[in-house]
C-alpha cells in the first residue's frame, strides 16, 4: 500500500467515511474506517443496489489512465461536469489536496501520482470489489450492469473476436449489458457472443431493416423489427426494477455499417417514451433505469425530453462524474450518471424503494485503486489464461519514452501524436490524420512502450492504413465535419468521438462558430499555408465507408518506434483555439 501523510489519510477517511464530500455518496462500514485498503467497503443503504461499469475497452489488467486536460463545454454545458478539468474540477468538488482523489478524477500531477500509486482498474481487482458489494448487500437485491464498449480495445479481444471479454463478463457476474464497439464485429459474431453471454443484451434503439427481415435476418421481434430485447424486469426481493437498453445511436455513422448491414440505429426518443409508458402501465415497476451508451451530454438532453426515467446509467464519453446529475423534465427529475472508462471506476447506486417509488438514494463513483485492492484469484487465473497465448507478443518492448503518452482529450494526445508521426514518416506523407477515439490507456514517462500498450490504441477490426492524394479543401472539410460532431450546440448531433488528430498540420479552431466556419489558418509543419486547390499526400487509418488496402496501423507504429527507439521532447500538434478563455474545460 502506498504510504500517505496523516493529513491525506484523515481527508481520505472523511471523503469515504463519516462525512462524504460528494452529494448523496455513501458512508463506509464502521469496522473499516481505519483501514485504507478497505475503502471500497461501503455502508449499505436502501433495499436495491445497482452496480454499473462501462467502457472498459477490454482492459483485463490494471492500467495507467490520465484523465483529460481538455474537455470543453459550451452553451448549456459550459462550466458543468464533465466539462470541468484539472484544478478547476478539484475546486468544483472541493477535493484539492487529496492525492488519491486528485489522481482518480483529474489529470493534475499525473506523473507524480502514477509513480506513487501505480495502476488503476483490472478485472481481478474489480471482481474483489464487486464480490464484496454484491455479497454484503445481498445477491438477490443487487444487479451488475455493463454499459458497453467491453469487447474491444485489446489485442486479446481482437484475436478472440470479443470472446475473452464475454468470458470475463460471465466470471464477473454481469446481469445486463448494452453495446457500441461490440457492433464492430460481424453480425454473426455478435449473435454468437450473445449466446455465450450470461447477461441480457438489451437495445430499444436497434432495428432490423425491412428488406433484411424479409430475407430472414434474425430479429428479437419480427413485428416491431427490434434486433434485440428492449428491456427487462428484475424482481429484487420484492422491488420491481425495469432496465431499458440504449445502444450507441450513431454506430453506423461513427463505425463501419459494412459489418452490420441489416441494422439501423438512432436515439429513438419517441420510441423510448412510448416504451416507458408501456412499461409503467403493463409492468408497474418501482424504478425505471436506462442503461445507456449515448454519451453524457446526449443523456442529459434525453433526460430533459423524456419523462419517467429515474436514472440514466451512461457511457461512451468516458466521463468519470462523481455525482449523479439531476435533470428536470415535464414529469419530474431524472438523474444522469457515468462511470468513466478502462475499469477505473465502478458506480454504486443504492435505492430506497418504498410503496412503489424511490424515496431516496446513495451514489458513489468508486475508484478502483489497484494497489489497495487484493486480486480475486479465480479472475486472475482467467485473465492469465486468456493472455498466455499472446504473452510473448504483448510483452515485447518496442521503445521507451521520456514523455507521458496519453490519448483522452478533445484534441491531439501525445500517444495520438506518435501514431500521426508514424503515419507521416513510414508512409512518406505531407499530412497524417488519426481518429479522435477516446479509448486507449496511458504510458507514464520513464516507462517502456510494449506492444500491449500499442494495441490499446489500435486493436480494432478496421485498422487498415492508407496513403492517398487529397485536396487542401477536402482536408479542411474533414476537420470541419468532425468539429461539428464534437461542438454542435445540440447534443443530439454530437455523433462521434473527440477531434480528429493531425500530424504535419496546424490550424486554428473557434468551437462556438457554426458548421463550416470553425477551422481557419491551416498550415503545413514547414509553415506554408494549405492551398485549397493543391493536392497533398495524406496518410491515415480506420476508414469507415470502405476498407483501405494498407497494413494495419499497429504495424506502422511498430516500424516507426523500432527505428526511433526512444520518445523525447514530443511536439504535439495542438490547434490554436479561439473563444475558450476562462473555460473550465481546459487545464
Mean pLDDT across 508-525: 97
**573 and 457 within one domain:** yes
Q: For residue 243, which of 147, 126, 339, 352 has the smallest C-alpha distance?
A: 147
> pLDDT at position 32, please?
53
> pLDDT at position 561, please?
98
Q: Report the distance separating Cα 381 and Cα 391, nearest Å.
A: 14
Per the structure block, which three cell numbers stand in for 424? 507521416
**289 and 184 within one domain:** yes
Mean pLDDT across 307-320: 97
**415 and 326 within one domain:** no
The number of domains in the chain is 2
Least confident among 19-28, 341-350, 389-398? 19-28
Tell whether omega for the bond before 238 is within 30 degrees of 0, i.e. cis: no
**297 and 357 within one domain:** yes
**422 and 362 within one domain:** no
- At 270-280, the pLDDT tens digits run 999 999 999 99
> pLDDT at position 97, please?
87
- The SS3 call for residue 124 is helix
Q: What are phi and psi of 51, to 5 degrees?
A: -105, 140
> pLDDT at position 177, please?
98
**402 and 356 within one domain:** no
- At 67-79, the pLDDT tens digits run 999 999 999 999 9
Q: Report the distance separating Cα 518 and Cα 540, nearest Å.
A: 22
> pLDDT at position 19, please?
55
Give domain status of residue 67, yes or no.
Answer: no
- The SS3 call for residue 339 is strand
Identify the band that residue 12 occupies on the pLDDT scale cut at 50, 70 and 90. low
Where residue 52 sits, what CATH number does that domain have? 3.60.21.10
For 148-267, where are the alpha helices, taking DSSP H only? 155-159, 163-172, 187-196, 210-214, 251-254
**503 and 424 within one domain:** yes
**433 and 502 within one domain:** yes
**407 and 499 within one domain:** yes
Give domain status of residue 96, yes or no.
Answer: no
Q: Report the distance separating Cα 580 and Cα 507, nearest Å.
A: 15
- At 400-447, the pLDDT tens digits run 999 999 999 999 999 999 999 999 999 999 999 999 999 999 999 999
Q: For residue 587, which of 179, 191, 71 has the smallest C-alpha distance?
A: 71
**What are the Cα distances from residue 499, in Å, to 173, 215, 276, 366, 581?**
35, 39, 35, 29, 19
Q: Hey, what's the torsion of the CAs at 468, 469, 473, 475, to 10 degrees?
A: 30
Per the structure block, which three cell numbers stand in for 449? 512502450
Helix axes 296-305, 269-282, angle to 10 degrees: 60
Where does a domain end: 350, 369, 388? 369
- At 271-309, the pLDDT tens digits run 999 999 999 999 999 999 999 999 999 999 999 999 999
**Burial of 43 from C-beta contacts in 10 A (0-12 / 13-18 / 19+):** middle
With a pLDDT cut of 90, the percent of the chain lying above it is 93
> pLDDT at position 11, please?
44
Mean pLDDT across 169-180: 98
Q: Which residue has the cell 424515496?
A: 359
Cβ distance 210 to 184 under 8 Å?
no
> pLDDT at position 34, please?
55
Give domain status of residue 232, yes or no.
Answer: yes
Give domain status of residue 467, yes or no.
Answer: yes
Mean pLDDT across 29-46: 78
**Burial of 194 from C-beta contacts in 10 A (0-12 / 13-18 / 19+):** middle
Mean pLDDT across 186-202: 98
Identify the band that residue 144 occupies on the pLDDT scale cut at 50, 70 and 90. very high
Give domain status of residue 125, yes or no.
Answer: no
Contacts of 327 by beta carbon, 8 Å cutoff, 6+ apart: 300, 303, 304, 333, 334, 335, 336
* DSSP secondary structure string for all residues of 495-530: -SSSPPEEESEEEEE-TTS-TT-SEEEEEETTSPBP
Give domain status of residue 116, yes or no.
Answer: no
Rounded to two decimals, what is the model's pTM? 0.96
Asked if residue 8 has pLDDT above 60, the reply is: no
> pLDDT at position 496, please?
75
**436 and 332 within one domain:** no
> pLDDT at position 28, please?
79
Q: Which residue has the cell 434503439?
A: 205
**Burial of 371 from C-beta contacts in 10 A (0-12 / 13-18 / 19+):** middle
Asked if residue 15 has pLDDT above 80, the reply is: no
What residues are paired with 358 via a beta bridge?
Answer: 353
The average confidence (pLDDT) of the chain is 95
Give the structural domain span for 456. Answer: 396-577
Where does a domain end: 351, 369, 387? 369
Q: Going edge to edge, which strands form the sheet with 505-509? A: 519-524, 505-509, 576-577
Mean pLDDT across 336-340: 97
What residues are paired with 329 via a beta bridge?
Answer: 332
- The SS3 call for residue 246 is strand
Identify the band that residue 102 occupies on the pLDDT scale cut at 50, 70 and 90. very high
With a pLDDT cut of 70, the percent of the chain lying above it is 96
> pLDDT at position 115, please?
95
Q: Report the distance separating Cα 428 and Cα 430, nearest Å.
A: 7
Give, for 22, the enclosing helix (H) or strand (E): none
Give domain status of residue 128, yes or no.
Answer: no
**279 and 404 within one domain:** no
- At 208-258, the pLDDT tens digits run 999 999 999 999 999 999 999 999 999 999 999 999 999 999 999 999 999
Give domain status of residue 192, yes or no.
Answer: yes
**451 and 365 within one domain:** no
Asked if residue 502 has pLDDT above 50, the reply is: yes
Q: What are phi and psi of 302, to 5 degrees?
A: -60, -40
Asked if residue 2 has pLDDT above 50, the reply is: no
Identify the band that residue 1 occupies on the pLDDT scale cut at 50, 70 and 90. very low
Where residue 407 sits, what CATH number does that domain have? 3.90.780.10
Per the structure block, which three cell numbers stand in for 551? 497494413
Amino acid at each position: 500500500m502506498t504510504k500517505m501523510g496523516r493529513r491525506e489519510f484523515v481527508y481520505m477517511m472523511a471523503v469515504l467515511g463519516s462525512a462524504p464530500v460528494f452529494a448523496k455518496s455513501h458512508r463506509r462500514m464502521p469496522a473499516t474506517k481505519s483501514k485504507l485498503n478497505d475503502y471500497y467497503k461501503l455502508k449499505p443503504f436502501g433495499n436495491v443496489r445497482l452496480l454499473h461499469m462501462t467502457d472498459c475497452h477490454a482492459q483485463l489488467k490494471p492500467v495507467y489512465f490520465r484523465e483529460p486536460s481538455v474537455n470543453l463545454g459550451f452553451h448549456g454545458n459550459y462550466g458543468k461536469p464533465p466539462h470541468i478539468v484539472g484544478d478547476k474540477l478539484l475546486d468544483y468538488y472541493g477535493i484539492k489536496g487529496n492525492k488519491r482523489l486528485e489522481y482518480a478524477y483529474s489529470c493534475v500531477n499525473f506523473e507524480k501520482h502514477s509513480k506513487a500509486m501505480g495502476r488503476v482498474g483490472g478485472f481481478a481487482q474489480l471482481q474483489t470489489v464487486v464480490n464484496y458489494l454484491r455479497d454484503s448487500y445481498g445477491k438477490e437485491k443487487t444487479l451488475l450492469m455493463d454499459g458497453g464498449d467491453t469487447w474491444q480495445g485489446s489485442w486479446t479481444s481482437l484475436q478472440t473476436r470479443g470472446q475473452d471479454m464475454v468470458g470475463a463478463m460471465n466470471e464477473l457476474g454481469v446481469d445486463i449489458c448494452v453495446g457500441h464497439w461490440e457492433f464492430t464485429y460481424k453480425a454473426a459474431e455478435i449473435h454468437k457472443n450473445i449466446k455465450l453471454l450470461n447477461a441480457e443484451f438489451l437495445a430499444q434503439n436497434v432495428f432490423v431493416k425491412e428488406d433484411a427481415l424479409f430475407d430472414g435476418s434474425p430479429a428479437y421481434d419480427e413485428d416491431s423489427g427490434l434486433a434485440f430485447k428492449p428491456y427487462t424486469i428484475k424482481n429484487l426481493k420484492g422491488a420491481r426494477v425495469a432496465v431499458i437498453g440504449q445502444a450507441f445511436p450513431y454506430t453506423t455513422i461513427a463505425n463501419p455499417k459494412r459489418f452490420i448491414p441489416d441494422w439501423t440505429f438512432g436515439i429513438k426518443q419517441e420510441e423510448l417514451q412510448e416504451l416507458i409508458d408501456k412499461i409503467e402501465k403493463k409492468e408497474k415497476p418501482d424504478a425505471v433505469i436506462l442503461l445507456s451508451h449515448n454519451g453524457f451530454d446526449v443523456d442529459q438532453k434525453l433526460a430533459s425530453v423524456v419523462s419517467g426515467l429515474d436514472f440514466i446509467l451512461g457511457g461512451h464519453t468516458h466521463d468519470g462524474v462523481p455525482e449523479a446529475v439531476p435533470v428536470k423534465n415535464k414529469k419530474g427529475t431524472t438523474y444522469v450518471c457515468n462511470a468513466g472508462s478502462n475499469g477505473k471506476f465502478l458506480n454504486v447506486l443504492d435505492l430506497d424503494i418504498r410503496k412503489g417509488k424511490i424515496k431516496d438514494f446513495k451514489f458513489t463513483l468508486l475508484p478502483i485503486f489497484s494497489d489497495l485492492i487484493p486480486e480475486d484469484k479465480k479472475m486472475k487465473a482467467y485473465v492469465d489464461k486468456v493472455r498466455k497465448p499472446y504473452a510473448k507478443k504483448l510483452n515485447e518492448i518496442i521503445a521507451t519514452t521520456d514523455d507521458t503518452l496519453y490519448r483522452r482529450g478533445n484534441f491531439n494526445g501525445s500517444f495520438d501524436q506518435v501514431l500521426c508521426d508514424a503515419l507521416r514518416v513510414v508512409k512518406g506523407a505531407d499530412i497524417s490524420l488519426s481518429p479522435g477515439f477516446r479509448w486507449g490507456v496511458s504510458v507514464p514517462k520513464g516507462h517502456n512502450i510494449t506492444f500491449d500498450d500499442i494495441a490499446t490504441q489500435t486493436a480494432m477490426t478496421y485498422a487498415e492504413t492508407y496513403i492517398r492524394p487529397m485536396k487542401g479543401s477536402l482536408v479542411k472539410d474533414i476537420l470541419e465535419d468532425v468539429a461539428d460532431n464534437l461542438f454542435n450546440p445540440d447534443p443530439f448531433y454530437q455523433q462521434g468521438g473527440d477531434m480528429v488528430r493531425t500530424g504535419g498540420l496546424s490550424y486554428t479552431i473557434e468551437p462556438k462558430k457554426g458548421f463550416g466556419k470553425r477551422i481557419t489558418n491551416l498550415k503545413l509543419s514547414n509553415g506554408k499555408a494549405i492551398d485549397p486547390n493543391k493536392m497533398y499526400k495524406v496518410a491515415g487509418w480506420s476508414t469507415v465507408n470502405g476498407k483501405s488496402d494498407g497494413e494495419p496501423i499497429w504495424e506502422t507504429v511498430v516500424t516507426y518506434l523500432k527505428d526511433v527507439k526512444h520518445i523525447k521532447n514530443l511536439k504535439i500538434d495542438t490547434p490554436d483555439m479561439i473563444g475558450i478563455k476562462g473555460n473550465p474545460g481546459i487545464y
